[in-house]
A and B are shown apart, each in its own frame.
Chain A
Amino acid sequence: MSYVPSTGEQRQEMLRAIGMQDYRDLYRDVPADMILDRPLDIPEGMSELEVTRAMTAMAARNTVFPTVLRGAGAYDHYIPSIVKSVTSKEEFLTAYTPYQAEMSQGVLQSIFEYQTMICELTGMDVSNASVYDGATAAAEAAAMCRDRKRRVTLISAAAHPDTINTVRTYCYGTGDELRVVPMKDGRTDTDALRRMLTPDVASFYLQQPNFFGQLEDAEAIGAMVHEAGAMYVMGCNPIALGIMKTPAACGADVAVGEGQPLGMPLSFGGPYLGFMATLTKHMRKLPGRIVGETTDHEGRRAYVLSLQAREQHIRREKASSNICSNQALCALTAGVYLAAMGPEGLAEAARQSMAKAHYLCRSLTAIEGVELVYTGEFFHEFVTTLPRRDEVLAALEKAGILGGLPVDGGVLWCATEKVGKAELDRAVEIVKEVLAK
């Protein structure tokens, strides 16, 4: 089964029409000694029902936890039903990049709306149509900040480890240096940052809230970075932005982040969404697709892929990035999610996530032996010590609860609006029971 609709007879007819005997004639340019002289060593094809069984069996070998108290870059938020219903529409799903505007106004408008929503969330002037994920968005942002004189990138040690590694890899690619600014008490060490902001520094990347859930003094840090003449890149949690000071208000030149919390399921890590926005003055350095508004010859409003002179298919080796495919359907997902939540719904998801995490934190740290590791303000994640950590996490797992992530010095917990008080109480009860043994 290969989804080839032409019948055997039609295929023969087509071969005859082009003056060929069989398929081998089609490959006459391929040197004969290179042609595979055996069948592929993969199983025989299967019917749709058999494939469904095989894949369902694989899915069944995973554990899906009804209660998730783990975040660390992937967050289990409630996804409104309308989101999936829109993103499974076959036209949105199966279209290519909207190169032909006259045939793609729907995709283009949805991206234009997404760009506007990202600008609203971040306070920035211009957003691109998405990049792969939050980590690559950070790496692309670092690249757009470098110029001839300023080649060094700084990143906070309190950023997500995957982000640090990804930025490091992109820097290694272009032969530029990445320096990691140490942390102190779970937050960026601002004294160290001040010392490290030398004249060759192009940008500093701060994650807010940071990997340990702690809230950074983002505005003061921004002022410090600008004083040193460097650019300021902020990686933000988009749900937190429902209530939190925007990167623009904190002085960021580029705002990026992992868009997964905006309606994308956990999905073992992807597809997710990298969002990326900047100020008008940096617009032509922004990588990736950007949709712009214009008119057609009759003056009707129209949307097009715009500012393409930055991109690889025009600029080739001089392009700002090699990005071509992005995460368009995930951007659509985020757009539908944000429109369904609305300003109040998004703020409520943020407030509830924060409230649940603080409730969980209070309840856990009331247990003898469980202490808060970093005591600064936090959003929806926090680190505690946890005696007999593996035993506790195993007990939670048995009860269908994915506990926090083991990290240096303890466990990184997370709660979102999706978990109810009863689930949190039950988790705390289990921790108590194990530790009382």
Chain B
Amino acid sequence: MKLIFEKSVPGRHCDLLPKCDVETVSLPESLRRDAAPALPEMSEVDLSRHYTELNKQVHGVNCGFYPLGSCTMKYNPRIDEDMAALPGFTGVHPLAPAHTVAGCREVLDTARKYLCEITGMDDMTFQPAAGAHGEFTGVMLIKQYHASRGDVARTKIIVPDSAHGTNPATAAMCGFQVVNIPSAPDGCVDLAALKAALGPDTAGLMLTNPNTVGIFDENILEITRLVHEAGGLCYYDGANLNAVMGVVRPGDMGFDCIHLNLHKTFATPHGGGGPGAGGVGCKEFLRPFLPASALMDGPGRIQVRSFAGNFLVVVKALTYLLTLGREGVPEASQNAVLNANYLMHAMKGTFTPAFDRVCMHEFVLDLGEFKKATGVSALDVAKCLIDYGMHPPTMYFPLIVHEALMLEPTETESKETLDWAADVFRQLYELGFKDPEYMHNSPHNAPIGRPDEVQAARHPIVRWQKG
């Protein structure tokens, strides 16, 4: 497919602006750029077709099944988009006088109230723009809390080895030393390892529950109690909240602060990588440490980005919450868990689950034995799925399972889709024994075959250059 720059024709353009109706002024010579940027020169029809062509080579949730574990790729309702496009929201300047933005405040306050109720928290900020940004904000709450008490010896954050990579990266960005603790064989926290890691230098623990293998850690109250006893705080990574909404609350598990991924759990679309929104909730005692915007709220202790965050994403999440309401929220979680268990069950006799027990909203397949028997890897299977129009599951995560495929079907897939998916996996399982070579070379029907990533890293070409 041609790049937009390769379609550019000198002199072509869209007519967008009127003639300037005031006297022009010039920049001083010393501040002018030497040459115009080589942006594409296109007519509107060129643009429309270019992006339509690109869009055809994108797999969205609207295209088909997207069981990308830990990413909660549920259907994104269209009404959410319509509400976020209301001029009454899009046309509001973030620094407009307070009495002219009552509607925006109501959106934020209402979403805050509902999400605090769902998570068992007392307050929440929507300034963080994504999950990892929420983690940063949450761990900064922990840092400020200890600092405010003069408790400066708490320099370590404990992270299980099954955690998302963002957890240790976040702890490091907040100036903490990361203590990685091994997981028990079932992927849950190894209590002995936790006890051994806890001490007067413990600032806190970062944990997701259900954990990254899709299992609810039944020792959770003991875990949070131990951390608190050692003087640390407990941070809840909300990546897996879709399993438990309206059933059990992080606040009731003993967590002090959390982040939510509104772009996962609360159905706002992911836009090919963002924008998300990483609302951070906390218990009352951490409220004084929440971020503020210098211009909107006056100086706060911390600020993690400009203004009030990805506001329109909150509009979408609130629209979703109003639609689901009291019954719909738990119904979503229950069906997310039902769908995961049903799909895991329907795949029995093919790929083996890494943990053969009831799962929450996602489960991990261990293709270790299958690979030994056939030579076909988790990557090969993932690439084969592309030919079926199914987005592959998350691969090689969590790190504690070696040939891992992690599936999260979400609640918005029907029984027919799950039956079909199980059937596809069965076919691939059988194909592995019959024609492994075919699988090594998959996908066969995608716009491209497997790209050469080594070449991309060794000889980086990261922008288009003329001729």
Are A296 and B451 in contact (CB-based, < 8 A)? yes
B337 touches A26 (CB 8 A): yes
Could you tell me if A161 and B37 are in contact, using CB atoms closer than 8 angstroms?
no
| CB of B192 closer than 8 Å to a CB of A | no
Q: Are B94 and A74 in contact (CB under 8 A)?
A: yes
> Across the interface, do B457 and A97 meet the contact criterion of CB distance under 8 Å?
no
Q: Assuming A93-B269, A325-B132, A327-B274, is B448 touching A300 (CB within 8 A)?
A: yes
8 further interface pairs, Cβ-Cβ under 8 Å (given A93-B272, A300-B449): A51-B323, A52-B83, A55-B315, A84-B85, A106-B57, A110-B272, A269-B307, A323-B130
A78 and B16 contacting across the interface, CB-CB below 8 Å: yes
Contact A100 B27 (CB under 8 A): no
Interface of B is mostly: loop
Q: Are the CB atoms of B132 and A312 closer together than 8 Å?
A: yes
The answer on a CB contact under 8 Å between B169 and A322 is yes
* CB <8 Å contact, A36 and B247: yes
B residues near A13, Cβ cutoff 8 Å: 415
* A330 contacts B275, C-beta separation under 8 Å: yes
Q: Which residue of A lies closest to B78 (CB)?
A: A90
Q: A94-B62, A94-B269, A268-B311 are in contact. Are A34 and B456 (CB under 8 A)?
A: no
For A327, list chain B residues within 8 Å (CB). 129, 271, 273-275
Judge if A76 is at the interface, Cβ distance under 8 Å.
yes
Give the distance in Å from the alpha carbon of A283 to the alpha carbon of B81 in the complex. Answer: 36
Q: Which 10 A-B pairs have the closest CB atoms?
A: A59-B88, A45-B325, A269-B307, A329-B271, A328-B273, A269-B94, A61-B103, A94-B60, A271-B275, A322-B169
At the interface with chain A, which of B63-71, B226-234, B424-432?
Answer: B63-71
For the complex, give the distance between the alpha carbons of A127 and B461 in Å: 11
Chain B 437-458 residues near chain A, CB threshold 8 A? 441, 443, 446-453, 455-457
Whether A110 pairs with B54 at a CB distance below 8 angstroms is yes
With most chain A CB atoms within 10 A of its CB, the pick from B106, B173, B178, B247 is B173
Residues of B with C-beta under 8 A to A41? 117, 326
In the complex, chain B residues whose CB is within 8 Å of the CB of A336? 47, 51
- Taking CB atoms, residues of chain A closer than 8 Å to B269 are 93-94, 329
Q: Among B53, B100, B102, B174, point to the contact of A173 (Cβ < 8 A).
A: B174
**Stretch from B196-204, B279-287, B297-305, B367-375 forming part of the interface with A:** B297-305
A373 sits at the interface (CB 8 A): no
* Choice from B3, B170, B276 contacting A112 with Cβ under 8 Å: B3
B457 touches A269 (CB 8 A): no
The residue among A61, A134, A160 with the most chain B CB atoms within 10 A of its own CB is A61
A340/B319 contact (C-beta < 8 A), A105-B57, A107-B58, A270-B308 known: no
CB-contact partner of B302 in A51, A133, A172, A355, under 8 A: A172
A249: CB under 8 A from chain B? yes
Q: Which residue of chain B has the shortest Cβ distance to A31 in the bound complex?
A: B218
CA separation between A143 and B136, bound complex, in Å?
A: 14
Nearest-neighbour CB distance to chain A for B378, whole angstroms, equals 13
A200 interface residue per 8 A CB criterion? no
**Inter-subunit contact A268/B14 (CB<8 Å):** no
- Assess whether B310 is interfacial by the CB under 8 Å rule: yes
Residues of B within 8 A of A324 (CB): 130-132, 165-166
A244 close to chain B: CB less than 8 A: yes
CB-contact partner of B95 in A1, A42, A72, A317, under 8 A: A72
Most buried by B among A1, A58, A291, A315: A58
Q: Which chain A residues lie closer than 8 Å to B351 at the CB level?
A: none
Q: Are B216 and A359 in contact (CB under 8 A)?
A: no
Question: Please, what's the 1-or-0 string for A167-198, where 1 marks a CB less than 8 Å from any CB in chain B?
Answer: 01110111100000000000000000000000
Interface pick from A144-152, A225-233, A342-350? A342-350
Complex: how many Å from CA A405 to CA B59? 43
* B59: chain A residues within 8 A (beta carbon): 91, 95, 100, 103-104
Interface flag for B97 (CB, 8 Å): yes
A173, B144: Cα distance in complex, Å: 10
Contact B140 A169 (CB under 8 A): yes
A429 interface residue per 8 A CB criterion:
no
A328–B47 touching, CB < 8 Å: no
For the complex, is B265 an interface residue (Cβ under 8 Å from A)? Answer: no
Instruction: Report 26 cross-chain contacts, Cβ distance below 8 Å, ordered by A residue.
Output: A27-B247, A42-B325, A51-B322, A55-B318, A59-B87, A63-B92, A64-B92, A91-B59, A94-B60, A98-B272, A103-B386, A112-B3, A132-B129, A132-B305, A136-B304, A162-B306, A162-B307, A165-B300, A244-B27, A272-B306, A315-B165, A328-B274, A338-B40, A343-B39, A359-B22, A405-B95
Tell me whether A290 is interfacial, beta carbon within 8 Å. Answer: yes
In the complex, whether A119 has a CB less than 8 A from a CB of chain B is: yes
B90 touches A94 (CB 8 A): no
